[in-house]
Chain A
Amino acid sequence: MSSSPSSTLARISTATPSRSLELGRVGDPVKRHDGVPKVTGEFAYSSDLQAAGMLWGKTVRSPHAHARIVELDISEALRLPGVHAVLTHEDVPGKKTYGLEFADQPVLAADRVRYFGEAVALVAAEEPEQARRAAAAVKVVYEPLEPVTEMERALEQEPLHPDRPTMPKEAGSHGYRDDPRPNVVRTLVVRHGDPETEGEVSVSGIYEIGIQDQAFLGPESGLAVPDGEGGVDVYVATQWLHVDRDQVAPCLGLPPEMVRIHLSGVGGAFGGREDLSMQIHGALLALRTGRPVKIVYDRQESFVGHIHRHPARIWCEHRATRTGKLVNVRMRILLDGGAYASSSTAVTSNAACFALGPYAVENALIESTCVYTNNPPCGAMRGFGAVQTCFAAEAQLDKLAAKLGIDPIELRLLNALAPGDFLPTGQPIGGSLPVAEVIRLAAALPVPEAETLPREAIRLPGGAGNTTRGEGVQRGIGFAVGFKNICYSEGFDDSTAARVILRADGSAEIHCAAAEVGQGVTDVILQVARTELGTDHVVLAAPETASVASAGSASASRMTWMAAGAVQLACRAALDDQASAGGGEVDVERIYRHARTTPLDPETGHITGERAHVAFAVAAMRVVVEVDVELGLTRVVWIGTAQDVGKAINPLAVEGQIEGGTAQGLGLALMEEIQTRDGLITNASFTDYLIPTTLDMPPVESVLVEDPEPDAPYGAKGVGEPPTVVSTAAIVSALRDATGRELTRVPVRPDDIVF
Chain B
Amino acid sequence: MKIRLTVNGEPREADVWAGENLLTTLRDALELPGSKNACEQGECGSCSVLLDGALVCACLVLAAQVDGHEVTTVEGLADGDGLHRVQRAFVEAGAVQCGFCTPGLVVATVALLESNPDPSDDEMREALSGNLCRCTGYAKIFDAVRLAARS
**What is the interface of chain A, defined by CB distance below 8 A to chain B?**
15-18, 20, 29, 31-32, 34-36, 38-45, 47-48, 129, 214-219, 265-270, 296, 298-299, 456, 458-459, 464, 517-520, 652-653, 655-656, 659-664, 685-687, 691-695, 697, 699-700
Contacts and interface: CB of A to CB of B under 8 A. Distances in A.
Given A685-B43, A697-B138, A40 B98 contact: no
Top 5 nearest A-B pairs by Cβ distance? A41-B34, A518-B98, A38-B99, A267-B100, A659-B137
B36 A217 contact: yes
B94 A655 contact: yes
A686 B83 CA distance: 31
A30 to B, nearest CB: 9
Contacts of A47: 36-37
Contacts of B130: 693
Given A31-B94, A216-B98, A299-B40, 8 more contacts: A218-B38, A459-B122, A517-B98, A520-B97, A664-B134, A685-B41, A700-B137, A700-B139
B129 interface: yes
A32 B129 contact: no
Contacts of A35: 90-91, 96
Contacts of A41: 32-35, 73-75, 103
A268 B132 CA distance: 12
A656 B36 contact: no
Interface in B79-108: 83, 87-88, 90-94, 96-103, 106
Contacts of A268: 97-98, 100, 134-135
B134 A32 contact: no
Interface string B101-145: 111001000000000000000101110111111111111111110
B132 A686 contact: yes
Given A17-B93, A694-B125, A39 B106 contact: yes
Taking each of B78, B88, B98, B138, which has the highest tally of chain A beta carbons within 10 Å of its own beta carbon?
A: B98
B25 interface: no
Given A299-B38, A685-B43, A691-B132, A39 B138 contact: no
A299 B90 contact: no
A702 to B, nearest CB: 9
Nearest to B76: A41
Nearest to B150: A16
A172 to B, nearest CB: 40
Contact of B128 (A129, A691, A694): A694
B46 interface: yes
A34 B99 contact: yes
B103 to A, nearest CB: 5
Contacts of B33: 41, 44-45, 48
Contacts of B43: 685-687
B44 A217 contact: yes
B41 A32 contact: no
Contacts of B90: 35, 39
A686 B98 contact: no
Contact of A653 (B27, B94, B99, B134): B94
20 contacts: A17-B147, A31-B92, A36-B87, A40-B75, A44-B33, A45-B33, A129-B17, A214-B134, A217-B134, A268-B135, A299-B41, A655-B94, A655-B140, A656-B94, A656-B137, A694-B125, A694-B126, A694-B128, A694-B129, A700-B137
A458 B122 contact: yes
A663 B106 contact: no
B39 interface: yes
A86 B133 CA distance: 36
A217 B125 CA distance: 20
Contacts of B83: 36, 39-40
Interface of B: 17, 27, 32-41, 43-44, 46, 73-75, 77-78, 83, 87-88, 90-94, 96-103, 106, 122, 124-126, 128-144, 146-147
Contact of A40 (B36, B78, B129, B133): B78
A694 B144 CA distance: 14
B38 to A, nearest CB: 4
A655 B46 CA distance: 23
Nearest to B90: A39
B94 A38 contact: no
Contact of A267 (B34, B92, B98, B143): B98
Greatest chain A CB density within 10 A among B87, B94, B102, B103 is at: B94
Contact of B91 (A31, A42, A266): A31
A270 B134 contact: yes
Contacts of B106: 39
B98 A659 contact: no
Contacts of B138: 659, 663, 694, 697
B94 A40 contact: no
A694 B96 contact: no
A41 B128 CA distance: 19
B94 A20 contact: yes
A656 B129 CA distance: 19
B92 A693 contact: no
A34 B136 CA distance: 16
B87 A458 contact: no
A48 B146 CA distance: 31
A35 B97 CA distance: 8
A296 B24 CA distance: 13
Instruction: Please indicate which of the listed interface residues B34, B38, B137 has the most CB atoms of chain A within 10 Å of its own CB.
Output: B137
Nearest to B33: A48
A24 to B, nearest CB: 12
Contacts of B17: 129
Contacts of B140: 17, 652, 655-656, 659
Contacts of B37: 47, 219, 296, 298
A45 B100 contact: yes
B102 A38 contact: yes
Contact of B99 (A518, A661, A693): A518
Nearest to B75: A41
Nearest to A666: B137
A41 B75 CA distance: 6
Contacts of A265: 99
Nearest to A459: B122
Contacts of B94: 17-18, 20, 29, 31-32, 652-653, 655-656
B133 A217 contact: yes
Contact of B34 (A31, A42, A693): A42
Given A20-B92, A48-B33, A518-B97, A694 B40 contact: no
Contact of B131 (A34, A655, A694): A694
Nearest to B107: A41
A217 B132 contact: yes
A692 B129 CA distance: 9
Contacts of A16: 143, 146
